[in-house]
Amino acid sequence: MNCAYCPFTVRGKVGIKTDFLPQLADRLKKLKEPLHLGLGTACEPYCEEEKEFRITRNAVTLAVEKGMPVQIFTKSGLILRDADLLAEYSEKACLR
């Protein structure tokens, strides 16, 4: 499925950053202070491919485990799949 907002959609193909989670973990480990993370500020974090790869869900978990507050911007109903996780993190004041 092509996303109207995604700059990585080229000729019907979507680029998936499968190395994103290890890179994020490495960068978060190096931080001295918490950093506010925004997901979906440039691309839809809950695109169709998220159903298979679960990168957004795992990125949110990783960030919260490292004490980083997260804000998610999306127009996708797929975010409801992660409602349990997001509700838990919201109670901890880690998610907006």
d(CA 86, CA 61): 9
According to DSSP, the β-strands at 37-39 and 70-72 are parallel
pLDDT tens digits, residue range 20-53? Answer: 999 999 999 999 888 888 998 888 899 888 999 9
Q: What is the pTM of this model?
A: 0.80
d(CA 88, CA 5): 29
74 within 8 A of 43, measured Cβ to Cβ: no
CA distances from 40 to 30, 32, 33 (A): 23, 24, 22
pLDDT tens digits, residue range 12-22? Answer: 666 788 899 99
d(CA 12, CA 28): 33
| In the chain, domain spans | 17-91
